[in-house]
Amino acid sequence: MLGENHALFIEYPEHQERIQELKQSDNGFKQMADRYHQLDHKIRGLEGNNIPTDDRHFTQLKLERVQLKDKIYSILSH
């Protein structure tokens, strides 16, 4: 769905406390989470405002977001 919010707290509600804890105690995790948030915000902005962008650029943003999401989930699930 276009413009859907993919914030980590929405994607992983069962890990909210762990996400917050890691953002405070693990700088690498915080950087990943911050970049994920930036990408999600940018993607939603492009989708919601119908801002023209080339498909390759848009696809690259979404690919980076999903790769970060996978890395973050891997950390949360271990």
pLDDT tens-digit readout, 5-31:
889 999 999 999 999 999 999 999 999
DSSP secondary structure letters along the chain? -TT----HHHH-GGGHHHHHHHHHH-HHHHHHHHHHHHHHHHHHHHHHTT----HHHHHHHHHHHHHHHHHHHHHHT-
pTM here is 0.86
Q: Is the pLDDT of residue 3 over 80?
A: no
pLDDT single digits (tens) 52-72? 778 898 899 999 999 999 999
* pLDDT computed for residue 75 by the predictor: 96
The answer to whether residues 12 and 69 touch, using CB atoms and an 8 Å cutoff, is no
* pLDDT computed for residue 48 by the predictor: 78
